Amino acid sequence: MLDDLLKTLKGHLSAYEYKTYMQALRFDTHASRADLAVFCAPNIWLCNYIKTRYGALLEQILSAKQGCAIKVQILPPQAQPKAPQSPSSKPIKTPP
């Protein structure tokens, strides 16, 4: 799904727009569903800009590709789900 979206977006946007804005997004496979595509933006400015400028286009392209209505959600960093930290990834404390 994501590869098709990116290919289609390249045809709708200038190379600058695609590289600057779309390549900054990360697709969240865990939060996305059949009717919802969730993307994570690296900062609040890009999040708001992409939502305003490209949100409708993203929904239109995804809905056409999937054959049903797809809502697009773009999350700023503070709203992005945190990956659970496994016990082995915690720092090990050693005595001095």
What's the pLDDT tens digit per position in 43-84? 999 999 999 999 999 999 999 988 999 999 999 988 766 655
- Based on the number of CB atoms within 10 Å of its own CB, is 17 exposed (0-12), middle (13-18) or buried (19 or more)? middle
Considering the entire predicted model, what is its pTM? 0.76
Q: CA geometry: angle at 66 spanning 50 and 57, to 5°?
A: 25
What's the pLDDT tens digit per position in 25-44? 999 989 999 999 999 999 99
